[in-house]
Every structure is written in structure tokens, then in C-alpha cells.
Structure 1
Amino acid sequence: MASVILFLFLSFTLIFKVLAQQRYSNISLGSSLTPTTNSSLLSPSGLYAFGFYPQGTGYAIGVFIAGIPQKTVVWTAKRDDPPVDSNVNLLINDAGLVLEAQGQTTTVISAPQSASSASLFDSGNFVLYNSDRDIIWQSFDHPTDTLLPTQRLEAGSELVSAVSETNHSTGIFRLRMQTDGNLVQNPVETPETAPYAYWSSGTYGSGNNVTLNFDYDGRLYLLNSTGFNIRKITPGGYPTKETIFVMRIDFDGIFRLYSYNLTQNGNSSVLWSSTTNKCEPKGLCGLNSYCALNDLEPKCICLPGFASVNPGDRTAGCERNFTAESCKEDHKSIRIQEVLSTAWEDVSYSVLSLSIKGECEQACLQDCNCDAAFYEDGLCKKQKLPLRYGRRNPDESNSALIKVKSTSIRTNTDRNEPAVDKKKSDQLGRGVLIVGISVVAFGLVTLAISGILFLKYRVWAYKRISEKDHIGLKHFDRIGCRISLIKKPVSDSFDFFLQYQEVDGKEGAMGLVTSLDWLGVPVLLEQHQRIQ
């Protein structure tokens, strides 16, 4: 029963594909297109177009979505050739698709047989025919960075990212359908081995003829050679009315599924992506630099002692900002600077088992061949430049120990600490400010309350001394002067000092005076004498 259902499913898929292919626009032998007039061939529905589109200072040739305001490119011919001028003609001849300019002919698509015509289907597939109307070449068999519904990625084939959103030349990332059954993302020109992959379907060993398939409802899945679905990558079942789906490995190395709404100015949305961490793709940052997230966006940071080769191109990497002298002569001026929590490609030429990080630093300093070392879990791995595929990972315990000139040390701790997320840093700063203001306000309120209580206490104390301790005033005359005497029980002990008064030019009465410092009340004791 299951085999019958599978057969019906594949049959209907094939029927829909054939029906889609049957709707096409045709150009015959000798017909031509030019960048400024008659620049493209539309599919029957007008959804796709084949022809010239602007790139850089000239034009490139390819297939793009014409049914929306933005010309979203889905396939490019000769993607690494320089843009062409406006005075060229694109035409069909026996050899295939060629460009003619100033009497010179350049082949754009080389046909395996003699070509007689070309067509663009409503599926977005551009094809060449022979005289018997057999398809002898099609763009679906030669994808660049994009898959369209009904298009397959065969075993041994790959998609390669573009350089940027506007430059569709070959970039640095690929999505490869390996012959071992695994769908893998890794940097271009790297071995098909696990250390270089940053995403995979996890279907290794599923056969040598596994294909990536793409349905009209946005479903992406892997089929083995028997037609069995071995892995569902996206769920599918998305609404299809006035909507088309595009699968692309973007220039940032992430593999995404997009939907384009044909009735809302071509607005697009991401339905699925292979990762949400934009630093995950290995090689996003060039040699001797590492990727760190800043507000969820990737930022490339040079290693300490290095400077960017081209600040406008993060893939250009970094180079040393000092000239390395003779290792033995320059040994005393070289130090180690640590870069914490980073992962790198490991191409160690020597691995030592050392229990202390400092021992690893010394081992690298004393080795003229060692430019850097990775220390993790008691292992010291010596490295030579360049270092590549660096990424900041807070969960990573690896420390990169980099040889630098002493003058290029940026901190006293010799550490390159993990960058703090700007948003989090702002929030932390606001939090500290609020706490500081709160503490100051609390201190002022406390001081005010303390002052009020102290003043009230002094008033109360003064009244208490006047009423309960019987302090009084006596007034009497001595040799023509009037002296005020404050009476206080002599049983109390105080610190004394002398007070003199001048009366009619003579020294008058003298007494011992004290201050009740804790009350602020001066007291003149009864003890006094006349000065002769």
C-alpha cells in the first residue's frame, strides 16, 4: 500500500512538473537581446524573465523574478565574467548562446549539440533545444546559488553563494549534496570532512544517489535512490496563493527558504534558515580575524597585533602590524596576548600535554616556529599563521594565545576579553545610573531626617537641663561690674577654661567656664575669685 501511495505521489509530481514545463516563451535561431532595448525574454505568465540585468557598471545575464518590483536574480550565466557593456547582442546560434560585440563572439552557454531555439518556462527554467525539440541544455541542471520549486540538487552538485546582494559572482560558501548522502554547508574549496562543515542534514551513509527536492508549497526534503524520503528539511504546506518560494544560500553563508508575495510589492519573508547565528558560517571573517556578534549582527575583529587588510571587505582578513625580527634576537620584545572563548581551524604542528596555561605560553614563546597556540583541557596546540575560521563562542573554553610585540599589547592583563553586546552594555549602564541616583537620594533623605531629629533632641535636652537640673542665674555687682553666674551642681565634672572681663579698664572677675559640648550650653561655675 505504501509503495502505491509513493508511486502516485511521484507520478503527480512528475505531471505537475511537465505541465509547468509546457508553458514557455520561445526565441528562435538568430533572435537576439540587447541590454537597453528588448533586454529580456518573459515566461508566459510574466513571473520570470531571462536576459540582461544591471550589475556593477554594466550588465550580467541570467534569470530573475520579473513579477515583483525588485529584480531578484535566481540564476546567472558566466557569473564570474566581468559585466558587459550596453553595446552587445545576445543571440542563439548553433554553438548555443553567444554574445556579439564589435565583431567578437563570446560563448555564454555552450550547447552539447547543435542548438536551434531556446525557451523560458513558467518554472523559471531556461532551456536550449535541438532541431527535434529535445532539451539539450537547461539552467536547472546548472544552479548557481538558488533552487526554484521542482528543481533538484543532484548528488555531487552544489550551490555556491554570491559575493554580495548585488554582486552575483562566486562567493565563499557552498551547499553541497555529497555522494555519501549528506547535505552539507562548508566553505568553498575545503575537504568534504566534518571539521569544515558548519551545518549538515545528518544523513551520512544514506546512499550515493540522494537528491535535494523542492516542492511548490515550500517543502524541502531528501530522497534516496529508491524514492524514499530520508529527511524532511522544511515542513512545507505553506499557502501558495499569489506566492512563490525560493531557496538560496545567501552571501553570508546561511541557507534560507523565502516566500515572495506577488500582490504586496513582492514583499519577502524568511520561512526557515539553517542557523540563526550569523557567525556560524566558517570563513565569514578572513584570515587572522574572528567573528563576534554585536546586537545579533556579525562583526569581524582582527587578532591582537594585526590590522585589517581592507576595512571595507571583511573576507580580506588581517595582517600583522609589525615586522617579525629574528626570533632569537627579538625574543625579549615578544609577549603573549590571550583571546578568550574562540574556536578556530586546528592545524597544529605540535601538541603538548601541559597542566597550566602559563606553561603553554612559555612553550610558544620559546619556539621560533610558533605564532600562536590553542590551550584547552590541558592540551597546548602550537599553530603557524595564518589562523582562519575564527568565531567567538561564549560556551567555548579554548584560549588562543597570540604572539605580539610588547608595544602592541592593548591591556595590562594581556587578555582580549569577550566583547559585551552593545545593547546589554547600555542596559547595564542605565542600571548602574539608576542605582547610583537611588543611593544618593536615600542618603539625602536619611541626612535630612537625622538633622531634624538632632535639632529636636537639642531643644529637648536644653529644656531638660533648665527644668530638672535647676540651673539658674544670679546677678550681682563686683567692683562696678555685673557678672552673670550660671549655677550648676558641682558634682558634675567638666573641662574648664578661664574667662576674663574688663571693667573700667581693670581686670574684673574671673571664673571657670565649661561647655556642655553634647548640648552646646555654656555654664559659668560658682567658683570665682576677685583679682587684685
Structure 2
Amino acid sequence: MVISIFFFLLVSTLHTPSAQQTNSNISLGSSLTPTGTHSSWLSRSGLYAFGFYKEADGYAVGIFLAGFPEKTMVWTALRDNPQRVVPSNTTLLLSSDGRLLLRPTQGQDMYIANLDQPASSASMLDSGNFVLYNSDQQIIWQSFEHPTNTLLPGQRLSNGAELVSSASETDHSKGIFRLAMQGDGNLVQYADDNPRTTSMAYWASGTNGVGNNVTLNLDDGGYLYLLNSSSVLINLTTGGYPKKGMMYLMRIDVDGIFRLYAHSSDQKGNWSVLWESSTDKCDPKGLCGLNGFCTMMDREPLCRCIPGFDFVDPGKWSLGCERYFTAPSCKDKEANVMMPLPSTWEDHSYKVLS
């Protein structure tokens, strides 16, 4: 009890009342602005927040760990919308007609939640789940059922759902890597451009064929597992980590590998990796794009282009490489030589041309 009170007080000191709103019950007509008095709605303990955060030259909406010195994003709104990064004169609103939306001063409203019925209130829960209620106080929408790149304790990845990596560490729109909970019971990782066949997966749980009610689950002790109805199919982590004084989350990272992270609740130290789907950072297919290949350099992946090619964008390896020579130059026999290229062999062609 003493520890819990101390943690609550510690978290509370990390927020300034002028920038946050601590009431977890959000009524119709409530609004936020990126640079106004209220920029986010806090959970009751002040640990999680739903609202604006800085991205690129503007602001985006998401859920983040507000109780930490650095904002750790756990959910991002409107990832498919190219207009999701908005200027400072935009309003986030739970409208009087029960819709959760972004309203720019110019342009059309952008709806964050697709609702079959109007909401009557909302709440940012201490679990990290943002929920909308109807007039009977039943949940009609929740962020836990629409994950982006992260699973929190108590959250599950259900049949047919997937996690998608972010485009970069600073751009939280969709990246190219997916962790999919397939209908056949298999948990599989693909790159966006690859066909969803077994040969093109770069990681799989090997549970295909066990049924269509398998879910990926994370509990508050860092136990990550696949559940089929009421029985555990496979343990991805052994669990057994301390529950008190620790926080856990699972995320598919920008590099295509999904990892289990831990952080002490007292805010000391950094996030530490407890488990990862692969220790070889060159495993994710598609990391280097077309005409590129991956090599390891000091335990970090390094993308290279095949001879005669340069990166489309040196800052975005996944865009691949494009040729800088002309087709007629290929007839110059003296300029063409055979050379070995390490780390380029694949079991299947990247693309078959007719």
C-alpha cells in the first residue's frame, strides 16, 4: 500500500496542471488543443494519457505513457490518414452528438472511432485502454480492440488482427512490417510487399491448423503466450517476472522484430528487452527493399545495394535501390564482371517476372 501511494505521488509530480486534465471521466463536449490549457486526458493515476503529442512539424493524437520523462507511444490514431499530423489550431473533441473526432479550423472533421451508436462519455483507463461508453455505460469502442504496434498487459491480439510497425522512430504512421494473428491459428510476421505465404514469412509460431480462435496475450507479469479458448498453445516468454514495481509492453519495432520490454515503475533507468522474436536483425525480409541486401556490422544491420545501384532514399532503406547505369552500357563487355555478394541468398526469388 505504501509503495502504491508513493508511485501515485511520484507520477503526479511529473505533470503540470496547466498542460493536463486529470479527470478520467470525459463528458460530451470535452475538447483538447495541442498548445492550450488541456492537451491530453489522463488516466486516474496519471500514468497514461490520450491526446496530442508532437510529431514532425505538427501534432498527432495517440495514447502514451505520460508518467514517464520520455513519452512512450502505445497507440496511434488515424495511421492511414495522410492528414493525421495537424497544426496547433486543431481541436480534439468528444462532440455533443457522441463522436470522437479531430476538427481543424479549415477542412473536414476526421473521425477517430467508427461508431455504430453515439457515445455518451469516455475514459482513459489505468490499463492504457481508451474507451467510449453509451448511455447504459457499456463500452462501444476501445483502443485495445484496435491495436497499432503495441500490446499492453491485459490486451490481446485476436483472430484476424495484426500489429504494424511504425514508419520510423519519430513517424508513427504505418511501417512495412506486420505481426498477424491468422485465421489458421498461426502468428506470423511478414513485410508489406511480400505475399502472405509460408515461404515469405520471416518468423512464425508454427501453430497453423489449430483453429480460428487463437489469440496472442500479454499479462501483467510479462508472460506472452498464445491461447486457444482456455488452453495455452505456446509460451513465447516464460513469464515469472515481478509484477510489483515493473511495467511491461510488447511492440513490433521499426526494424520488424517484435520484443517484450520492461521498465521499473519508479521511472529509473530505461526500457530493457526481456525477449525478442529474433536476435538477427537481418531476418526481416524487406528491410533493405528491392535490389538491396542486409549485412551485420557491429551487431547492427546495414543495408547495401547491389553493384550498379544506389538507394532510392539513403534514409529509408526499405524503399530499396535503383540502377544508375543505362541499358546500353551493359553491352560493354570490359565493364561487366562477375563478383561474389555475401548475405544475398534467398530460398525464393523476390519477384518473378513474366
TM-score band by shorter chain is 0.7 to 0.9
Query: How many residues are paired up?
Result: 327
Q: Contact (CA 8 Å) 1:111, 1:128: kept in 2 or not?
A: no
TM-superposed CA distance for 1:330, in Å, is: 5.8
- What are the equivalent positions in structure 2 for 1:193-212 lying under 5 Å apart? 193-212=197-216
1:230 to 206, 230, 233: 233
Task: Say whether residues 1:306 and 2:305 are aligned partners.
Answer: no
More helix by share: 1
- Structure 1 residues 125 and 294, CA gap change in structure 2 (3 angstroms): same
Task: Say whether residues 1:187 and 2:191 are aligned partners.
Answer: yes
TM-superposed CA distance for 1:77, in Å, is: 0.6
Give 3-state SS (helix, strand or coil) of 2:157's partner. Answer: coil
1:90 to 92, 98, 105: 92
Q: 2:343 and 2:170 mapped to 1: Cα distance?
A: 34
Where does residue 346 of structure 1 map in the other structure?
348
1:324 to 312, 323, 327: 327
Q: 2:164 and 2:338 mapped to 1: Cα distance?
A: 38
Where does residue 245 of structure 1 map in the other structure?
248
Where does residue 142 of structure 1 map in the other structure?
146
Give the aligned CA root-mean-square deviation in angstroms: 2.1
Q: Contact (CA 8 Å) 1:32, 1:90: kept in 2 or not?
A: yes
- Structure 1 residues 298 and 101, CA gap change in structure 2 (3 angstroms): same
Amino acid at match of 2:168: S
Q: Contact (CA 8 Å) 2:294, 2:343: kept in 1 or not?
A: no
Q: Deviations over 1:422-461 (max 9, x none)?
A: xxxxxxxxxxxxxxxxxxxxxxxxxxxxxxxxxxxxxxxx
TM-superposed CA distance for 1:100, in Å, is: 1.8
TM-superposed CA distance for 1:246, in Å, is: 0.5
Q: 1:305 and 1:263 mapped to 2: Cα distance?
A: 53
Structure 2 residue runs without a partner (length 5+): 1-22
- Structure 1 residues 199 and 348, CA gap change in structure 2 (3 angstroms): closer
Q: 2:320 and 2:192 mapped to 1: Cα distance?
A: 16
Where does residue 300 of structure 2 map in the other structure?
297
Task: Say whether residues 1:123 and 2:127 are aligned partners.
Answer: yes
Q: Contact (CA 8 Å) 1:48, 1:124: kept in 2 or not?
A: yes
Q: Contact (CA 8 Å) 2:133, 2:139: kept in 1 or not?
A: yes
Q: Deviations over 1:265-314 (max 9, x none)?
A: 46211110011111111111121010000011111111012122222221
TM-superposed CA distance for 1:107, in Å, is: 1.8
Q: Contact (CA 8 Å) 2:98, 2:120: kept in 1 or not?
A: no
Where does residue 365 of structure 1 map in the other structure?
none
TM-superposed CA distance for 1:154, in Å, is: 0.4
Amino acid at match of 1:84: V
- Structure 1 residues 194 and 55, CA gap change in structure 2 (3 angstroms): same
Q: Contact (CA 8 Å) 2:154, 2:217: kept in 1 or not?
A: yes
Give 3-state SS (helix, strand or coil) of 2:67's partner. Answer: coil
TM-superposed CA distance for 1:116, in Å, is: 1.5
Give 3-state SS (helix, strand or coil) of 1:267's partner. Answer: coil
Where does residue 57 of structure 2 map in the other structure?
57
Give 3-state SS (helix, strand or coil) of 1:195's partner. Answer: helix
TM-superposed CA distance for 1:108, in Å, is: 2.2
- Structure 1 residues 265 and 85, CA gap change in structure 2 (3 angstroms): farther
Q: 2:24 and 2:289 mapped to 1: Cα distance?
A: 44
Higher relative contact order (CA 8 A, sep 6+): 2
Task: Say whether residues 1:46 and 2:49 are aligned partners.
Answer: no
Q: Percent identity?
A: 58
Task: Say whether residues 1:263 and 2:271 are aligned partners.
Answer: no
